[in-house]
Structure formats: C-alpha cells, structure tokens
Amino acid sequence: MLSHSCLKSLLFLMSTWGLCSSHSSPRPLRFSAFLDPTQQIHLRWDHDSKELMTFELEVQSTGWVAFGFTTHGQLPGGDVVIGGVLPDGNMYFSDWHIVDEHTIVEDESQDYKLLSMNQDETSTTITFQRYFQTCDAHDQPITGDTLRVISGFGPDDTIDFFKGKLIHKSLFLMLYLNENQLNTPKEYYVYDLKLDDFPIPEDDTTYACTFIPFPRVKTKHHIYKFEAVITPRNETMVHHILVYACGNASVLPAGVSDCYGADPDFALCSQIVVGWAVGGGVYMFPNETGISIGTPRDAQWIRLEVHYSNFNYISGLIDNSGIRLYYTPELRPYDMGVLQTGLFTFPIHFLPPGVEAFNSYGLCNSSRFEELNGTPVPDLHIFGYLLHTHLAGRGVRGVHYRDGKQLRILCEDNKYDFNLQETRGLKEVVTFKAGDEFLVECRYQTLDRTSLTFGGPSTLNEMCLAFLFYYPRNNISSCMGYPNIQFVAHELGQPAADAMEGMMAINLVEWDNNTAKKAEKACKEADQIVILKTIDEVVVNETGFIRDIIEHEPAPCKAIFGNGLSAEPEGQARYQPAVTSRALNAKAILPSPALLVIYLGFTSLLTFSLCPLKVSQAQTRNRRKHQQPSGWTGGLSLPSMQQ
C-alpha cells in the first residue's frame, strides 16, 4: 500500500490535472494592487457575471505563500489558501481557516480552484478562483464592501503560518472599470491645486483653507481625472482634501486660514468638485462626462480644504499636499457635478458612548430641487460615490426612494474602514429624478468611548456623508438632513423648548444600552429637517421622515467543484463539494473509464518513483504532523519526495 503522504500526493496530482486544464484565466485580469509597503506581494484580480472571482498572487518568495480574508483584520475566523512549489517541482495548494491566534485547520470543503502555479529563482505566482459566496461557513464572503485581506509567505516550504511574514490590508475588490477601458485623451494638461510650504500645526485636528484659481483656458475644457499629491513623509498627517467651486460673484479672502475658524469667509464655496480621503487613489471619470472649465458658467476659483490629523504633535512638518487635475480640450458629452448628502455636520448629530452599534440617518428630500435650481432639473445620472465617516464609523449605505417606495440600496460599505476612503464607481449608472429621496445611514461603534461623540469637523467628532458623482450638473451643491432634536430629547425624558435646549439636554442623559436603543429609535422616528444649498450659497429648508430600509435578498451560495448552485437553509449542514483534499471523486475529474485506467497507471508509476518505501525518521515525523486532526499549531514540513 502507498503511505498516506504518497496517496495524498497521488490525489493532488490527479486533482491538479483536472483543475489546471485551463492553464490560465480566460482574460487578462483588469485590477491590481501591491499588498505590502515593500511591494513583495502583488495581487491581480477580476470578476465576472457568474459571481466568480479570479486572483493572481505573485510573491517574492520561493517558499509557501498564502492569501485570504479576515474579519476586521483579526486572525480568528480568517479564511486562507496556502500553496507553493516543492524543490522537485511538485505543487501543493489547499483551503484553510484560522481557528485562533495559534491554530489553522484545513477546510473539509475545498472552495478555491487552482488554475496555474509557477515559480522561478525569486518568486512564486499562483492563479486561482472562488465564488463570491461559497457554501462553506469557514469562507469569508466576497462582497461590495471594504474587505480585510491577509497575505503572507515563508522562506521555504516548511509551513509555519504564524511565524511567516503576514500582511493585512483593506481592499475594495468590486471594481468595474480600469483606466485601460476608458478613453485617455491624446491632448491633455496637468494642473496642481496645492498648499505652498504650509507648516502643519502641533494639533490633533487642523483644517487649512485657501483659494486658488482654476486653470485659465480660452475655450471649454473638461477635467477627466484627478489624484492626490501628498508630500512625502506626511502621508499619515493628511486626512482628506476637498476642492469646492466658488460662485463667480464671491468675494474671496487671500492667504491660508482655518476653514471653520474665526473668519467665516474661509468657509465660503460649498459646491464639491472633487474629493480625496485616506487610502484613495487616482480616479478617472467615465467617458461620458468631465468637469467643465473655461465657460462663463464655470467656476473660476476654488476653495482648497486640507484636513490634517497630527495626533502625535510632531513639530517642524512642512506640507505641499493637494490635488492634481488632468484636463483636455477633447470634450465629453456631459458636464458632471457632485451632490453632497447625508447628515448635516453639527452637534445635533450625537453618538452615545460604550455601544456596539448605533445608527444615524440623514435624508435628502429633493422635492424643491427645481425651485432652488431656478430651471428644470434634468435627471441626475449617478455613476460614482464617496462615503465618509470618522473613526467610530463601521458601515455606510445610501438608499434611493421614489414615490415612497425603495428602488435600491444605491451604495454601501458594511465593513467601512476609515483608512480606505476612495471614490468608487457604480456597476450601472442610476437615474435620480427631482422629487426622489436619498437616505444615508451610518453605523457606528463607540465601545472605546466613555462620553458622547458629537458631529463636527475634528477626526474625534463624527460625520455621516455620501458624495454622489453625477451628470449633467445643476446648481445644487448639497442636500442634507438632521433629526428634530427636541423630539429626541422628549423621547429621552428631557424637556426642551427649542433646538438649542434639545442639544444641551442630550448631555443630561445617563447612557446605557437601553437609553442608546431608545435614542436610536427616536432619531429614526423624528421628523427630518432637510437643508438644500446651491453653489451661490442660496439655502432652502424642507422636511421629511426616515423610511424603512428593505434588505438585500441573500445570494445563493455556489460550490466551485459541484454543478454550480447550492442554497442550503441556514442551520443545516453546509454543502460538500465533489472534490476535496480528503476525498476524490474521480468521475468528476476524468472524462472516461478508459482514460481513467491509463491515467491511474501512469500516476501510480509516477508516484511510486517519487515515494520510496524507505523514508527518514524526520519525514515520518513530518507526515504525522500533517495528519494531526486538531489543526496546525506549529510548523508543517511537507515531504520532500526526493529519490
């Protein structure tokens, strides 16, 4: 009889013969990112209409490599694949889950499909696939949220997972377009909107604002792309950068000052043009649209706002950060705009301390859009969004209603990460009509806080915002709501004659889980006061109320080796695929009995030559380690299988 290790080698050879028959993914992978600061781990990926995600992991190592997903960056509950190429050219690849900080166990259900594996003198490249939602409870689902990716490698094929180099990174995988799919103009120019030698104060929060002219052009041009330019070594200081268009009748101050300080003129201009926040990258607009400059209707000046967070009070830092614009005379069909929505940033927004979850709501009721715009408002074609909270934020979503009925959850991130705030494109352009409603819901966690958190500009305050990118543009810059704070105070047993007394009354509440739930319910049931504003600072008020949110229907899970679908009811045993590392269904892999006989004969000879009957004591010990039923708690040395 063959030993367990040799039998497993045979099973692996057979399974990889079936798994690797395609040799490569069907099309070039459109998206990529380095997963570590030293650029030793590079990931490429893509997805298709069958909810199948393809990955290519290239690691600067000739030892074992790993990739997977965790829950909020914590190892327990993580889901990883581990693979590599042995010195003799044989491969290993399997699906595991992390039990705790010291134990990793191979999944009974193997839900990652190996496509190819290559190794040269310095690096290992593995290409593999899995469905967004597998039928294994140990696999983290791949969603449209910010995912916490884990990757790692070791110096050789002795797999000691917890002593390897492990990297955690937040990543958004559900991208739909890359720059190669968009039209890059043949003629374009670059223009920087930035601060000049600004000394970053020794303070946890600084908002620096200045006014800068837009590029001067004699004919209409379109800005088609933007990116942040951050001064080296100041990356951890710059929290966000916003560019606001100014009305051409505005009288603007000179110099640099606090955006929201003693001089209110430095808060002028509220029409968002572009925005960047921590973790964001380059963003290129769809081919249909761009930001118009150079016409009498277009803004000639902008307000540049840079938010710094210097929590360590480092002195002597000089900054020249800003936004780089790319613009072209090759015009697009539509001029684009940005609509700021969410909860009006003001101390009326509050979060109780010490709670696992607390939801806040901000409503945009667009029933007065045409009155405020001064002319009929064309349908807004929304193509992208940027979600924004501060440190307590755990989830954000925007919900679209028409005639009192929910149309869709337009954008969401249920695993929001403060350190990855980026402009994201929608899969399909969404039409928003004047009169529609847009609700922004933000979920917070304040377990680390012992006092109330209020809405405000500081990183230690909170915000709840969604910036919607759309075309064609109109004159409306923001549409945000907040709850009737008097009603909330009364529901919490505190008298309040007006809004100011209502805000003060919130400080008198004794907070626990029950009062926090009561406050959340009151904030949702209260009438919403909606504030609408134009580029010229014209303001009108509207009212509305928070409607219920209809949740998504969960997608059925899919098995990578089965015949496609499984929809096991919750609580029942999970689906077992046809092929796992422990069980082989030869019929599922091999096309005919005749070929099976030929192939078994060939692989038996091959395995016999690779697996001599005499093995060293060290190999025996290692194989026993591999058979431990309780999971990995230390290193695993794979058998060398050398003759």
Neighbours of 121 (CB within 10 A): 5
SS3 93: strand
The answer to whether the beta carbons of residues 98 and 78 sit under 8 Å apart is yes
Is 482 among the residues known to form the active site?
no
The answer to whether the beta carbons of residues 135 and 574 sit under 8 Å apart is yes
According to DSSP, the residues that pair with 32 across neighbouring strands are 44
8-state DSSP, 199:
E
Of residues 500, 365, 392, 495, the one with CA closest to residue 453: 392
- Determine which one of 207, 444, 471, 575 is catalytic: 207
Dihedral sign of CA atoms 539, 540, 541, 547 in order? negative
The answer to whether the beta carbons of residues 127 and 24 sit under 8 Å apart is yes
SS3 477: strand
The pair of structure tokens assigned to 487 is: 């009603």
Q: How many whole angstroms separate alpha carbon 250 and alpha carbon 268?
A: 8
Decide the pairing of beta strands 283-284 and 221-229.
antiparallel
Q: How many whole angstroms separate alpha carbon 604 and alpha carbon 101?
A: 39
Helical spans, DSSP H, in 133-262: none
According to DSSP, the residues that pair with 119 across neighbouring strands are 124
Dihedral sign of CA atoms 603, 606, 612, 613 in order? positive
Is 23 among the residues known to form the active site?
no
- Determine which one of 221, 388, 390, 400 is catalytic: 388
The CA-atom distances, in angstroms, between 195 and each of 314, 371, 421, 635 are 19, 37, 22, 52
Could you list the active site residues? 207, 388
